[in-house]
Amino acid sequence: MGLQDIKDRINAAAEKAGRDPSAITLIAVSKVQPLDRVGAVLDEGHRVFGENRVQEAQGKWPDFKARFPDIELHLIGPLQSNKTRPAVELFDAIHTVDRLKLARRLADHAQELGKSPDIFVQVNTGDETQKAGCALSEVDTLVQACRDLDLPLKGLMCIPPIDEEPSLHFALLAKVAARNGLEGLSMGMSGDFESAIAQGATHIRVGSAIFGERVPAAQ
């Protein structure tokens, strides 16, 4: 596997679904990957990356950004309220807005810094108790709040429960997005991105299928 293989599979899945592949953004999820692997994917010309921790991204990306100014960085992991400022400074998109307090803080920083990353509301489509994401019953309210705060809201994001058929969750997310007039759908990972594309994904988040298995952090 690798970058080109994933691109071929995206094209095939888009064609099968009657969709334009250029409407699908591949986010290469580089969390915990060694820098040489990330560098190799940059050298292949890819520029859109995803990280799940603000602190890890702060350590890793400023150097790459200095070398490749057109890098686009997406935060796909949970965001703590005390990390919102560096997140707004570093990221071009945040996929994990799941509560009003977070939306308010992001809007404050956007005012202050004169820029805002694109925003996705994360939805807990499986209503799992420990999982991040806004409850299904609260999505419409949070979407409206983001709009009232003038945040650049692009769409919805989900991570389906591990033990359930992902396509049902992708279809549900697409339905909730359509109801709210949102076009962006951040869904699909290494194991299920083709099914997400069939259900309308606009942003797929693929890590291990591009970079190989994640290497555990050194002790």
Ligand X SMILES: *Cc1c(COP(=O)(O)O)cnc(C)c1O
| Phi then psi dihedrals of residue 73, to 5 deg | -115, 130
CB of 56 vs ligand X, minimal distance in Å? 12
* Closer Cβ to ligand X, 169 or 205, answer by number: 205
* Closer Cβ to ligand X, 182 or 196, answer by number: 196
CA atoms within 13 A on the CB side of 43: 6
Cα-based distances in Å from 64 to 43, 49, 106, 116, 177: 11, 11, 25, 21, 34
Name every residue whose Cβ is closer than 8 Å to that of residue 90 and which is 6 or more positions away in sequence: 54, 57, 58, 61, 73
Binding of residue 57 to ligand X (CB under 6 A): no
Binding of residue 173 to ligand X (CB under 6 A): no
Q: Which of residues 90-149 bind ligand X (CB under 6 A)?
A: none
Helices 54-67 and 35-43 meet at what angle, rounded to 10?
A: 40
Helices 139-148 and 100-113 meet at what angle, rounded to 10?
A: 20
**Residue of 52, 116, 124, 125 that binds ligand X (CB under 6 A):** 52
Binding of residue 29 to ligand X (CB under 6 A): yes
Which single residue brings its beta carbon nearest to ligand X? Answer: 207
Binding mask 174-213 for ligand X (x = CB under 6 A): ---------------xxx-------------xxxxx----
Continuous segment of H or E residues that includes residue 219: none
Binding of residue 87 to ligand X (CB under 6 A): no
Instruction: List contacts with ligand X (CB under 6 A).
Output: 29, 31, 52, 76-77, 159, 189-191, 205-209
